[in-house]
Structure 1
Amino acid sequence: MARRRTLRPEEEELWQAVARTAQPLHPGRVRSHLPKDDPAPQPPEPRPPAHPPFPHFNLGEKVRHLPGHDLAPTMRDHLAAQPLRMDAKNYARMARGKLAPEARIDLHGMTLTEAHPELIRFVLNAHADGLRLVLVITGKGSRRTEDHGPIPQRQGVLRHQVPHWLRLPPLGSVVLQVAVAHLKHGGEGAYYVYLRRSR
Protein backbone atom coordinates (compact mmCIF):
# COMPACT_ATOMS: atom_id res chain seq x y z
CA MET A 1 0.00 0.00 0.00
CA ALA A 2 1.39 3.35 -1.06
CA ARG A 3 2.17 5.82 1.68
CA ARG A 4 0.22 9.08 1.44
CA ARG A 5 2.33 12.14 1.05
CA THR A 6 1.58 15.84 1.26
CA LEU A 7 0.97 17.73 -1.97
CA ARG A 8 3.42 20.24 -3.27
CA PRO A 9 2.00 23.75 -3.92
CA GLU A 10 1.63 23.27 -7.72
CA GLU A 11 -0.06 19.88 -7.17
CA GLU A 12 -2.39 21.50 -4.68
CA GLU A 13 -3.51 24.11 -7.23
CA LEU A 14 -4.17 21.41 -9.82
CA TRP A 15 -6.13 19.36 -7.32
CA GLN A 16 -8.31 22.34 -6.35
CA ALA A 17 -9.11 22.99 -10.03
CA VAL A 18 -10.22 19.37 -10.54
CA ALA A 19 -12.18 19.35 -7.29
CA ARG A 20 -14.19 22.43 -8.37
CA THR A 21 -15.44 20.63 -11.52
CA ALA A 22 -16.38 17.39 -9.76
CA GLN A 23 -19.97 16.63 -8.69
CA PRO A 24 -20.15 15.13 -5.19
CA LEU A 25 -22.08 11.84 -4.86
CA HIS A 26 -23.27 12.77 -1.36
CA PRO A 27 -23.42 16.57 -1.06
CA GLY A 28 -23.98 16.50 2.70
CA ARG A 29 -20.78 14.55 3.33
CA VAL A 30 -18.21 16.62 1.44
CA ARG A 31 -14.85 16.39 3.13
CA SER A 32 -11.70 18.16 2.28
CA HIS A 33 -8.35 16.48 2.54
CA LEU A 34 -6.99 19.68 4.01
CA PRO A 35 -6.83 19.85 7.77
CA LYS A 36 -9.34 22.29 9.21
CA ASP A 37 -8.28 24.90 11.62
CA ASP A 38 -9.71 23.68 14.91
CA PRO A 39 -11.14 26.50 16.96
CA ALA A 40 -9.31 27.14 20.17
CA PRO A 41 -10.86 25.14 23.01
CA GLN A 42 -13.12 27.21 25.19
CA PRO A 43 -12.27 27.18 28.89
CA PRO A 44 -15.01 25.45 30.91
CA GLU A 45 -17.44 27.73 32.69
CA PRO A 46 -16.77 27.82 36.42
CA ARG A 47 -19.43 25.93 38.36
CA PRO A 48 -20.56 27.03 41.78
CA PRO A 49 -19.11 24.82 44.52
CA ALA A 50 -21.32 21.97 45.74
CA HIS A 51 -20.58 22.88 49.35
CA PRO A 52 -20.11 26.32 50.81
CA PRO A 53 -16.45 27.30 51.06
CA PHE A 54 -14.63 26.80 54.33
CA PRO A 55 -14.84 29.73 56.71
CA HIS A 56 -11.77 31.91 56.82
CA PHE A 57 -9.15 30.89 59.36
CA ASN A 58 -5.63 31.89 60.28
CA LEU A 59 -2.83 29.42 60.78
CA GLY A 60 -2.30 28.69 64.45
CA GLU A 61 -5.71 29.86 65.66
CA LYS A 62 -7.72 27.63 67.96
CA VAL A 63 -10.27 25.28 66.52
CA ARG A 64 -13.78 26.69 66.54
CA HIS A 65 -16.01 23.76 67.40
CA LEU A 66 -19.43 23.83 65.85
CA PRO A 67 -22.36 22.58 67.93
CA GLY A 68 -22.78 18.80 67.77
CA HIS A 69 -25.38 17.28 65.50
CA ASP A 70 -27.19 14.21 66.82
CA LEU A 71 -29.86 12.86 64.53
CA ALA A 72 -31.30 10.54 67.17
CA PRO A 73 -33.36 12.18 69.92
CA THR A 74 -32.55 11.36 73.52
CA MET A 75 -34.57 8.59 75.12
CA ARG A 76 -36.22 11.15 77.41
CA ASP A 77 -37.41 13.16 74.36
CA HIS A 78 -38.50 10.00 72.57
CA LEU A 79 -40.59 8.79 75.50
CA ALA A 80 -42.03 12.26 76.15
CA ALA A 81 -43.29 12.33 72.55
CA GLN A 82 -45.32 9.14 73.12
CA PRO A 83 -49.06 9.67 73.65
CA LEU A 84 -50.18 9.84 77.28
CA ARG A 85 -52.19 6.69 78.08
CA MET A 86 -52.42 7.03 81.83
CA ASP A 87 -54.08 9.60 84.08
CA ALA A 88 -52.32 12.96 83.59
CA LYS A 89 -52.28 13.71 87.33
CA ASN A 90 -50.65 10.37 88.17
CA TYR A 91 -48.20 10.81 85.29
CA ALA A 92 -47.12 14.22 86.64
CA ARG A 93 -46.66 12.75 90.14
CA MET A 94 -44.70 9.82 88.71
CA ALA A 95 -42.42 12.10 86.64
CA ARG A 96 -41.65 14.19 89.75
CA GLY A 97 -40.75 11.05 91.73
CA LYS A 98 -43.78 11.35 94.02
CA LEU A 99 -45.05 7.84 93.24
CA ALA A 100 -42.96 5.09 94.82
CA PRO A 101 -42.30 2.03 92.64
CA GLU A 102 -43.84 -1.14 94.09
CA ALA A 103 -41.09 -3.40 92.73
CA ARG A 104 -37.79 -3.03 90.92
CA ILE A 105 -35.43 -5.06 88.74
CA ASP A 106 -31.79 -4.25 88.13
CA LEU A 107 -30.61 -5.25 84.64
CA HIS A 108 -27.40 -3.26 84.98
CA GLY A 109 -24.39 -5.29 83.82
CA MET A 110 -26.44 -7.93 81.94
CA THR A 111 -26.11 -8.63 78.24
CA LEU A 112 -29.09 -8.21 75.92
CA THR A 113 -29.68 -11.96 75.80
CA GLU A 114 -29.66 -12.20 79.59
CA ALA A 115 -31.74 -9.08 80.22
CA HIS A 116 -34.62 -9.69 77.81
CA PRO A 117 -36.06 -12.87 79.42
CA GLU A 118 -35.50 -11.41 82.92
CA LEU A 119 -37.46 -8.29 81.97
CA ILE A 120 -40.33 -10.34 80.51
CA ARG A 121 -40.52 -12.55 83.60
CA PHE A 122 -40.40 -9.58 86.00
CA VAL A 123 -43.04 -7.43 84.23
CA LEU A 124 -45.50 -10.30 83.66
CA ASN A 125 -45.19 -11.42 87.31
CA ALA A 126 -45.67 -7.84 88.55
CA HIS A 127 -48.78 -7.50 86.39
CA ALA A 128 -50.15 -10.84 87.62
CA ASP A 129 -49.58 -9.66 91.22
CA GLY A 130 -51.65 -6.50 90.56
CA LEU A 131 -48.76 -4.05 90.79
CA ARG A 132 -49.13 -0.76 88.90
CA LEU A 133 -45.73 0.99 89.01
CA VAL A 134 -42.40 -0.84 88.71
CA LEU A 135 -38.87 0.40 88.20
CA VAL A 136 -36.52 -1.08 85.60
CA ILE A 137 -32.87 -0.16 86.20
CA THR A 138 -30.66 -0.37 83.11
CA GLY A 139 -27.71 1.83 84.04
CA LYS A 140 -26.49 4.60 81.78
CA GLY A 141 -24.00 2.40 79.99
CA SER A 142 -20.27 2.87 79.89
CA ARG A 143 -17.97 3.10 76.92
CA ARG A 144 -15.03 0.77 77.40
CA THR A 145 -13.20 1.71 74.21
CA GLU A 146 -12.98 4.82 72.08
CA ASP A 147 -15.30 4.77 69.09
CA HIS A 148 -13.26 5.55 65.96
CA GLY A 149 -15.48 3.80 63.41
CA PRO A 150 -17.45 5.47 60.62
CA ILE A 151 -20.76 4.52 62.25
CA PRO A 152 -21.13 5.81 65.80
CA GLN A 153 -22.01 3.21 68.42
CA ARG A 154 -24.69 4.00 70.97
CA GLN A 155 -23.63 4.27 74.57
CA GLY A 156 -25.83 2.18 76.85
CA VAL A 157 -27.33 -0.39 74.48
CA LEU A 158 -29.53 -1.85 77.22
CA ARG A 159 -30.87 1.58 78.13
CA HIS A 160 -31.99 2.11 74.52
CA GLN A 161 -33.34 -1.40 74.01
CA VAL A 162 -35.58 -1.75 77.11
CA PRO A 163 -38.25 0.78 75.98
CA HIS A 164 -38.59 -1.10 72.67
CA TRP A 165 -39.00 -4.42 74.46
CA LEU A 166 -41.71 -2.88 76.64
CA ARG A 167 -43.75 -2.00 73.53
CA LEU A 168 -43.40 -5.41 71.87
CA PRO A 169 -45.34 -8.61 72.71
CA PRO A 170 -45.70 -10.08 75.26
CA LEU A 171 -45.09 -6.92 77.34
CA GLY A 172 -46.87 -4.37 75.12
CA SER A 173 -50.30 -5.64 76.19
CA VAL A 174 -49.65 -5.10 79.92
CA VAL A 175 -47.56 -1.89 79.84
CA LEU A 176 -49.55 1.34 79.84
CA GLN A 177 -46.76 3.97 80.00
CA VAL A 178 -42.97 4.15 80.11
CA ALA A 179 -41.07 7.21 81.35
CA VAL A 180 -37.51 8.06 82.35
CA ALA A 181 -37.19 7.81 86.14
CA HIS A 182 -36.76 10.77 88.47
CA LEU A 183 -33.21 11.40 89.77
CA LYS A 184 -34.01 9.87 93.17
CA HIS A 185 -34.96 6.60 91.42
CA GLY A 186 -32.03 6.46 89.00
CA GLY A 187 -32.61 9.25 86.49
CA GLU A 188 -31.47 8.46 82.94
CA GLY A 189 -30.35 4.98 84.01
CA ALA A 190 -33.84 3.73 84.97
CA TYR A 191 -37.43 3.67 83.70
CA TYR A 192 -40.81 3.88 85.35
CA VAL A 193 -43.09 1.23 83.88
CA TYR A 194 -46.76 1.87 84.62
CA LEU A 195 -48.81 -1.30 84.17
CA ARG A 196 -52.44 -1.82 83.19
CA ARG A 197 -54.86 -3.08 85.78
CA SER A 198 -54.89 -6.86 85.91
CA ARG A 199 -58.27 -8.40 85.21
Structure 2
Amino acid sequence: MTPRRRKELTAEDSELWAFVTREVTPLKRRRRKPVPKPVELVVEPAAGPAAKPVPKAKAAAPKPVKPVAPPLPPIAPIDKHERRQVVRGTRAIDARIDLHGMRQAEAHGALRGFLAIAQMRGYSMVLVITGKGGTGGESLFSADERGVLRRVVPQWLRMPDLRPLVLGFEEAHQGHGGSGALYVRLRRLRKGPQP
Protein backbone atom coordinates (compact mmCIF):
# COMPACT_ATOMS: atom_id res chain seq x y z
CA MET A 1 0.00 0.00 0.00
CA THR A 2 1.14 3.42 -0.81
CA PRO A 3 0.64 6.18 1.73
CA ARG A 4 -1.91 8.86 0.86
CA ARG A 5 -0.67 12.24 -0.02
CA ARG A 6 -2.13 15.20 1.78
CA LYS A 7 -3.61 17.86 -0.37
CA GLU A 8 -2.25 21.28 0.14
CA LEU A 9 -4.83 23.97 0.85
CA THR A 10 -5.27 26.52 -1.83
CA ALA A 11 -5.17 30.22 -0.98
CA GLU A 12 -8.94 30.41 -1.29
CA ASP A 13 -9.43 27.43 1.08
CA SER A 14 -7.02 28.95 3.63
CA GLU A 15 -8.87 32.27 3.50
CA LEU A 16 -12.23 30.54 3.98
CA TRP A 17 -10.89 28.49 6.91
CA ALA A 18 -9.53 31.58 8.61
CA PHE A 19 -12.91 33.32 8.20
CA VAL A 20 -14.82 30.36 9.74
CA THR A 21 -12.48 29.89 12.69
CA ARG A 22 -12.20 33.60 13.52
CA GLU A 23 -15.22 33.60 15.89
CA VAL A 24 -14.91 30.09 17.24
CA THR A 25 -13.72 29.65 20.82
CA PRO A 26 -12.11 26.36 21.71
CA LEU A 27 -13.79 24.07 24.21
CA LYS A 28 -12.25 23.67 27.64
CA ARG A 29 -10.10 20.64 27.82
CA ARG A 30 -11.24 18.01 30.21
CA ARG A 31 -8.73 16.72 32.66
CA ARG A 32 -8.23 13.09 32.19
CA LYS A 33 -7.89 10.78 35.13
CA PRO A 34 -4.34 9.56 35.47
CA VAL A 35 -3.92 6.02 34.31
CA PRO A 36 -2.43 3.87 37.08
CA LYS A 37 1.03 2.66 36.31
CA PRO A 38 1.32 -1.06 35.80
CA VAL A 39 3.05 -3.07 38.51
CA GLU A 40 6.61 -3.77 37.60
CA LEU A 41 7.59 -7.39 37.77
CA VAL A 42 10.99 -8.27 39.09
CA VAL A 43 12.26 -11.66 38.10
CA GLU A 44 14.76 -13.07 40.50
CA PRO A 45 16.72 -16.16 39.66
CA ALA A 46 15.25 -19.06 41.55
CA ALA A 47 16.89 -22.22 42.71
CA GLY A 48 14.12 -24.38 41.29
CA PRO A 49 13.07 -24.89 37.68
CA ALA A 50 9.71 -23.06 38.01
CA ALA A 51 10.51 -19.45 38.88
CA LYS A 52 7.57 -17.06 39.08
CA PRO A 53 7.86 -13.32 38.60
CA VAL A 54 7.48 -11.42 41.87
CA PRO A 55 5.63 -8.10 41.78
CA LYS A 56 7.69 -5.16 42.95
CA ALA A 57 6.09 -3.64 46.02
CA LYS A 58 5.12 0.00 45.70
CA ALA A 59 3.91 2.23 48.48
CA ALA A 60 0.18 2.56 48.01
CA ALA A 61 -1.86 5.37 49.46
CA PRO A 62 -3.53 4.17 52.66
CA LYS A 63 -7.27 3.63 52.40
CA PRO A 64 -9.35 5.78 54.71
CA VAL A 65 -10.26 3.85 57.83
CA LYS A 66 -13.89 3.96 58.88
CA PRO A 67 -14.27 4.73 62.57
CA VAL A 68 -15.33 1.65 64.45
CA ALA A 69 -18.22 2.21 66.82
CA PRO A 70 -17.44 1.09 70.34
CA PRO A 71 -19.20 -2.14 71.27
CA LEU A 72 -22.45 -1.82 73.14
CA PRO A 73 -22.08 -2.34 76.88
CA PRO A 74 -23.43 -5.69 78.06
CA ILE A 75 -26.58 -6.07 80.15
CA ALA A 76 -25.81 -7.66 83.53
CA PRO A 77 -28.37 -9.04 85.97
CA ILE A 78 -28.88 -7.22 89.25
CA ASP A 79 -26.86 -9.03 91.92
CA LYS A 80 -28.71 -10.91 94.67
CA HIS A 81 -27.34 -8.77 97.52
CA GLU A 82 -28.54 -5.53 95.94
CA ARG A 83 -31.93 -7.03 95.06
CA ARG A 84 -32.36 -8.24 98.64
CA GLN A 85 -31.61 -4.74 99.94
CA VAL A 86 -34.22 -3.21 97.63
CA VAL A 87 -36.87 -5.81 98.60
CA ARG A 88 -36.23 -5.30 102.32
CA GLY A 89 -36.28 -1.54 101.97
CA THR A 90 -32.71 -0.98 103.20
CA ARG A 91 -31.83 0.38 99.78
CA ALA A 92 -34.21 2.93 98.34
CA ILE A 93 -35.54 2.96 94.80
CA ASP A 94 -34.42 6.34 93.47
CA ALA A 95 -37.35 6.96 91.09
CA ARG A 96 -40.28 5.20 89.44
CA ILE A 97 -42.29 5.56 86.26
CA ASP A 98 -45.72 4.07 85.55
CA LEU A 99 -46.13 3.22 81.86
CA HIS A 100 -49.33 1.32 82.17
CA GLY A 101 -52.20 2.66 80.17
CA MET A 102 -49.87 4.24 77.58
CA ARG A 103 -49.58 3.28 73.93
CA GLN A 104 -46.28 1.74 72.79
CA ALA A 105 -44.84 4.83 71.05
CA GLU A 106 -45.78 7.08 73.96
CA ALA A 107 -44.41 4.59 76.51
CA HIS A 108 -41.12 4.17 74.64
CA GLY A 109 -40.51 7.91 74.48
CA ALA A 110 -41.45 8.34 78.15
CA LEU A 111 -39.14 5.50 79.19
CA ARG A 112 -36.17 6.89 77.23
CA GLY A 113 -36.64 10.35 78.67
CA PHE A 114 -37.13 9.04 82.21
CA LEU A 115 -33.98 6.86 82.12
CA ALA A 116 -31.84 9.66 80.64
CA ILE A 117 -32.95 12.15 83.31
CA ALA A 118 -32.51 9.56 86.07
CA GLN A 119 -28.96 8.86 84.90
CA MET A 120 -28.13 12.59 84.74
CA ARG A 121 -29.39 12.99 88.32
CA GLY A 122 -27.08 10.20 89.46
CA TYR A 123 -29.78 7.64 90.27
CA SER A 124 -28.69 4.03 90.25
CA MET A 125 -31.91 2.03 90.80
CA VAL A 126 -35.33 2.85 89.33
CA LEU A 127 -38.65 1.02 89.11
CA VAL A 128 -40.45 0.76 85.76
CA ILE A 129 -44.10 -0.24 86.11
CA THR A 130 -45.50 -1.84 82.95
CA GLY A 131 -48.69 -3.36 84.31
CA LYS A 132 -49.55 -7.03 84.14
CA GLY A 133 -52.05 -6.74 81.31
CA GLY A 134 -54.53 -9.14 82.87
CA THR A 135 -58.06 -9.54 81.62
CA GLY A 136 -60.44 -6.90 82.94
CA GLY A 137 -63.91 -8.27 82.25
CA GLU A 138 -65.44 -7.63 78.84
CA SER A 139 -62.72 -6.32 76.55
CA LEU A 140 -62.19 -5.70 72.88
CA PHE A 141 -58.72 -7.26 73.18
CA SER A 142 -58.04 -10.96 73.23
CA ALA A 143 -55.81 -12.36 75.98
CA ASP A 144 -52.83 -12.37 73.56
CA GLU A 145 -53.10 -8.65 72.84
CA ARG A 146 -53.14 -7.61 76.50
CA GLY A 147 -49.93 -6.87 78.41
CA VAL A 148 -48.02 -5.57 75.39
CA LEU A 149 -45.81 -3.26 77.48
CA ARG A 150 -44.98 -6.10 79.84
CA ARG A 151 -43.51 -7.99 76.85
CA VAL A 152 -41.83 -5.13 74.95
CA VAL A 153 -40.22 -3.07 77.74
CA PRO A 154 -37.52 -5.73 78.40
CA GLN A 155 -36.81 -5.73 74.66
CA TRP A 156 -36.51 -1.93 74.67
CA LEU A 157 -34.08 -2.06 77.59
CA ARG A 158 -31.79 -4.29 75.48
CA MET A 159 -31.93 -2.00 72.41
CA PRO A 160 -28.89 0.09 71.35
CA ASP A 161 -30.50 3.43 72.22
CA LEU A 162 -30.99 2.44 75.88
CA ARG A 163 -27.93 0.22 76.41
CA PRO A 164 -25.66 3.14 77.39
CA LEU A 165 -28.16 3.96 80.16
CA VAL A 166 -29.10 0.49 81.46
CA LEU A 167 -26.69 -1.68 83.42
CA GLY A 168 -29.21 -4.42 84.14
CA PHE A 169 -32.84 -5.15 84.90
CA GLU A 170 -34.94 -7.80 86.56
CA GLU A 171 -38.55 -8.52 87.42
CA ALA A 172 -39.60 -6.71 90.58
CA HIS A 173 -40.56 -8.31 93.90
CA GLN A 174 -44.28 -8.87 94.56
CA GLY A 175 -44.31 -5.88 96.94
CA HIS A 176 -43.16 -3.57 94.11
CA GLY A 177 -45.48 -4.91 91.42
CA GLY A 178 -44.17 -8.41 90.71
CA SER A 179 -44.37 -9.42 87.06
CA GLY A 180 -45.91 -6.05 86.16
CA ALA A 181 -42.77 -4.07 87.10
CA LEU A 182 -39.01 -4.12 86.60
CA TYR A 183 -36.06 -3.02 88.71
CA VAL A 184 -33.69 -1.19 86.36
CA ARG A 185 -30.10 -0.54 87.40
CA LEU A 186 -28.59 2.50 85.66
CA ARG A 187 -25.03 3.03 84.53
CA ARG A 188 -23.11 5.88 86.07
CA LEU A 189 -22.81 8.89 83.86
CA ARG A 190 -19.18 9.24 82.86
CA LYS A 191 -17.84 12.66 83.54
CA GLY A 192 -14.89 13.57 81.44
CA PRO A 193 -13.66 16.23 79.07
CA GLN A 194 -16.43 17.20 76.69
CA PRO A 195 -15.43 18.13 73.13
Instruction: Report the TM-score, using the length of structure 1 for normalisation.
Output: 0.51
Counterpart Cα distance in 2 of 1:87 and 1:146:
37
Equivalences for residues 1-199 of structure 1 within 5 A = 84-94=76-86, 98-143=90-135, 144-145=139-140, 147=142, 153-199=144-190
How far 1:99 sits from its partner (Å)?
3.0
Take 2:89 and 2:140, find their aligned partners in 1: how far apart are those partners?
34
Q: 1:124 to 1:174 in 2, by over 3 A?
A: same
C-alpha distance in structure 2 between counterparts of 1:84 and 1:98, whole Å:
22
Segments of structure 1 that go 5 or more residues without pairing to the other structure are 1-81
Q: Please tell me the residue identity of whatever aligns with 1:117.
A: G
Q: Structure 2 unaligned segments of length 5 or more: list them.
A: 1-73, 191-195
Q: Which of the two has greater helix per residue?
A: 1
Please provide the CA RMSD for this pair. Answer: 2.5
How many residues are paired up?
A: 114
- The residue type equivalent to 2:172 in the other structure is A
CA distance in 1, matches of 2:119, 2:182: 16
Q: Against the structure 1 CA distance between its residues 186 and 85, is the aligned structure 2 distance closer, same or farther, given a 3 Å change threshold?
A: closer
Q: Shift in Å at residue 112 of structure 1? A: 0.4
Quote the Cα distance in structure 2 between the aligned partners of 1:101 and 1:141. Answer: 23
Structure 2 distance, partners of 1:129, 1:123, is: 10
TM-score (norm: length of structure 2): 0.51
Quote the residue 2:35 is aligned against. Answer: none
| Distance in structure 2 (CA, Å) of the matches to 1:162 and 1:173 | 16
**% identity of equivalent residues:** 46
